[in-house]
Amino acid sequence: MKLKVAYWVVTGLVSLSASVSAFLYLSEAPAMVLAFEHLGYPAYFRTMLGIAKLLGVVALWAPLPRTLREWAYAGFAIDFVAAVVSHTAMGDPAAQSAAPLLMFVLLIASHQLWHRVSSGASAESVPQVRPAGA
């Protein structure tokens, strides 16, 4: 039960962060527009990334095939690592990389907890058969 609660809390934090940033990207918030320009990315990339993040959040929460969820985790991992690399390459202060780095750590925790919870749930629902003589 503790693993499930931890999974939902950590996944909720990652999803909240991704949803808020996607909303800011898509609403063309001036701070986001300037941030993407500073990093050298074109305007269409911000829109594309916002849509991808929203789809990723849906994939983390909806009852979809495991493969789609794995792709969502991979996409978020690439996004968070690329954000850290982008800020570092532009010479931004380390604090600029702190949020995506924290989200990357939480994403890894969510992924690992998801595997534990999903394998535990399937193990609980399948009766264990003991070999004869055991």
* pLDDT tens readout for residues 105-133: 999 999 999 999 998 755 554 445 555 66
The rounded distance, in Å, linking the Cα atoms of 88 and 95 is 10
The rounded distance, in Å, linking the Cα atoms of 66 and 70 is 6
How confident is residue 134, by pLDDT bands cut at 50, 70 and 90?
A: low
The predicted pLDDT at position 126 comes to 43
30 by Cβ neighbours in 10 Å (0-12 / 13-18 / 19+) ranks as exposed
The rounded distance, in Å, linking the Cα atoms of 55 and 58 is 5
φ and ψ at residue 132, rounded to 5 degrees: -60, 140
Structural domain spans, the chain = 2-117
Tens digits of per-residue pLDDT, 19-43? Answer: 999 999 999 889 999 999 999 999 9
Please give the C-alpha separations between residue 14 and each of 56, 63, 134, in angstroms, as whole numbers.
11, 18, 45
The predicted pLDDT at position 85 comes to 97
The predicted pLDDT at position 1 comes to 85
Tens digits of per-residue pLDDT, 40-78? Answer: 999 999 999 999 999 999 999 999 999 999 999 999 999
